[in-house]
Amino acid sequence: DTAVSQTPKYLVTQMGNDKSIKCEQNLGHDTMYWYKQDSKKFLKIMFSYNNKELIINETVPNRFSPKSPDKAHLNLHINSLELGDSAVYFCASTVLLNTGELFFGEGSRLTVL
């Protein structure tokens, strides 16, 4: 059983479109994240939710909107996609106020043409 699963794994779309990436974890964790990994492999935190409440919101364009319907799910919706949004987006989860050990999904590679 996959602990943190993301869909889709690959997404190719045109500039200006709107797309969503879904994430689900079956670890019973209460905190979930979205990280963006650029073409140089740099990982940057975007958002974090704890029990459906937003606790971290880094400097991210408001075209990105996370949604957490319950503590096991964290989705990422992106409006008006731009070329610079091309990246691998990783979902991760942990227990809040844990020591920082994150469990990552396998990533969703977004390509904007």
Partner 1 sequence: AQSVTQLDSQVPVFEEAPVELRCNYSSSVSVYLFWYVQYPNQGLQLLLKYLSGSTLVKGINGFEAEFNKSQTSFHLRKPSVHISDTAEYFCAVSDLGRGEKLVFGKGTKLTVNP
Q: What is the DSSP string of 75-91?
A: EEEE-S--GGG-EEEEE
CA 97 to chain centre: 20
Query: Interface residues for partner 1 in 6-45 (CB under 8 A)?
Result: 31, 40-45
Q: CA–CA distance from 97 to each of 1, 53, 79 (Å)?
A: 25, 15, 32
Q: What are phi and psi of 96, to 5 degrees?
A: -55, 145
**C-beta of 14 vs 41, nearer to partner 1:** 41
Q: Pick out residues in 78-97 that bind partner 1 (CB under 8 A).
A: 90, 92, 94, 96-97
Binding mask 40-79 for partner 1 (x = CB under 8 A): xxxxxx--x-x----xx-----------------------
Contact residues toward partner 1 (CB under 8 A) are: 4, 31, 40-45, 48, 50, 55-56, 90, 92, 94, 96-102, 104-107
